[in-house]
């Protein structure tokens, strides 16, 4: 089998929701020395994207969506265990959470890990985070950047709620605010007065570096 075949097989096993075989295939690929990030992005997450599309088009239902999420998380945890933690965190302080009402956290965790690997001190505020909690934590932890993740049309308004609260409290210039997740876009970032938008984890790192002047 070629490298591409092995990655494609992982994608197919994720799409077909075969948890046991998918985890074994990921483990084998890791043991054979494949790049963990390649297995993650081109294998597991490519499969999860197709599951989301099938859910969106009515081919898969909520139980399949949940199974896909669980098996992707199990694979992601195995892969992440092969990526080292960052020891020296001096490029800035970054807080990240999923906004109020939003329970999606797979992408959020990936962003957090990559920003940590890039040398930032990171704090995971978790999911379903009330807007004021982002602000309270930013003050408490002396954050440089507040990151807001949202994945639903219904939770998108909370991006601007956080920004508006910061403005009302006279704190808007104290923190950079960046947004991400499938509910976001560059246009939205611009229209709500965020400091930037990133479509994926590597771009989030580049955006933080740009905002911090690194
Ligand atoms: Co949900 N879900 N979900 N879901 N889910 C979506 C988002 C959806 C697009 C699926 C679809 O219909 N095609 C749809 C939203 C539709 C909409 O509003 N427009 C949807 C829906 C409808 C729902 C429910 C309402 C379903 C229901 O109950 N009827 C429900 C809502 C729950 C809630 O939040 N209140 C729900 C539930 C779930 C599960 C719990 C089953 C599960 C989440 C499990 C978990 O996270 N622990 C789930 C999943 C897995 C998905 C999809 C399939 C995959 C999300 C994911 O993890 N992707 C998703 C479909 C899709 O996104 N296309 C879908 C992999 C991840 C690596 O990518 O999350 O995009 P992503 O993160 C990326 C970037 O976005 C970016 O970097 C990450 C890494 O590259 N990024 C940032 C993320 N945050 C960032 C922050 C930044 C910068 C970049 O700076 C701050």
Q: Whose CA is nearest to atom 28 of ligand 1?
A: 62
Question: What is residue 82's predicted lDDT score, i.e. its pLDDT?
Answer: 87
Of 79, 67, 125, whose CA–CA distance to 100 is shortest? 125
Q: Which atom of ligand 1 is nearest to the CA of 202?
A: 80
**Tens of pLDDT, residues 112-168:** 988 988 889 999 999 999 999 999 999 999 999 999 999 999 999 999 999 999 999
User: Reduced to 3 states, what is the DSSP secondary structure of residue 97?
Assistant: strand
Both tokens assigned to 183 = 């509910």
CA dihedral sign, ordered 71, 77, 78, 79: positive
Rounded-to-integer distance, Cα 210 and Cα 214, Å: 6
Question: What is residue 1's predicted lDDT score, i.e. its pLDDT?
Answer: 74
Q: Whose CA is nearest to atom 51 of ligand 1?
A: 52
125 lines ligand 1 (CB under 6 A): no
Rounded-to-integer distance, Cα 171 and Cα 94, Å: 16
Q: How confident is the model at residue 101 (pLDDT cuts 50, 70, 90)?
A: very high
Q: Whose CA is nearest to atom 14 of ligand 1?
A: 152
Mention every residue, 6+ apart, whose C-beta is less than 8 A from residue 177.
145, 146, 147, 148, 162, 163, 166, 194, 195
147 lines ligand 1 (CB under 6 A): yes
**142 alpha carbon to ligand 1 midpoint, in Å?**
29
Of 55, 37, 57, whose CA–CA distance to 117 is shortest? 37
Give yes or no for residue 85 having a pLDDT over 70. Answer: no
Average pLDDT over residues 101-119: 91
111 lines ligand 1 (CB under 6 A): yes
Q: How confident is the model at residue 86 (pLDDT cuts 50, 70, 90)?
A: low
**191 alpha carbon to ligand 1 midpoint, in Å?**
22
Q: pTM of whole model > 0.75?
A: yes
**Tens of pLDDT, residues 16-70:** 999 999 999 999 999 999 999 899 989 999 999 999 999 999 999 999 999 999 9
Q: Whose CA is nearest to atom 89 of ligand 1?
A: 180
Task: Give percent of the chain with pLDDT exceeding 70.
Answer: 98
Taken in order of first residue, the domains within the chain and their CATH numbers are 3-80 (1.10.1240.10), 93-212 (3.40.50.280)
């Amino acid at each position: 089998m070629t490298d591409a075949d092995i990655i494609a097989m992982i994608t197919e096993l994720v799409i077909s929701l075969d948890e046991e075989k998918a985890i074994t295939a990921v483990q084998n690929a890791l043991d054979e020395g494949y790049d963990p990030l390649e297995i993650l992005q081109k294998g597991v997450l490519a499969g999860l994207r197709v599951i989301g599309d099938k859910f969106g088009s009515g081919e898969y239902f909520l139980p399949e969506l949940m199974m896909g999420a669980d098996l992707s998380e199990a694979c992601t945890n195995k892969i992440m265990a092969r990526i080292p933690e960052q020891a020296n965190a001096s490029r800035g302080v970054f807080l990240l959470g999923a906004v109020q009402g939003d329970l999606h956290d797979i992408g959020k965790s990936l962003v957090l890990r990559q920003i940590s690997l890039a040398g930032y001190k990171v704090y995971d505020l978790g999911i379903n985070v009330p807007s004021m909690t982002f602000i309270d934590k930013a003050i408490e932890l002396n954050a440089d950047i507040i990151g807001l993740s949202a994945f639903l049309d219904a939770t998108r308004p909370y991006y601007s709620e956080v920004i508006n609260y910061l403005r009302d409290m006279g704190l808007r210039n104290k923190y950079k605010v960046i947004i991400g997740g499938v509910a976001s876009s560059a246009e939205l970032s611009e229209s709500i007065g965020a400091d930037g938008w990133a479509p994926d984890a590597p771009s989030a790192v580049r955006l933080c570096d740009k905002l911090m002047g690194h």
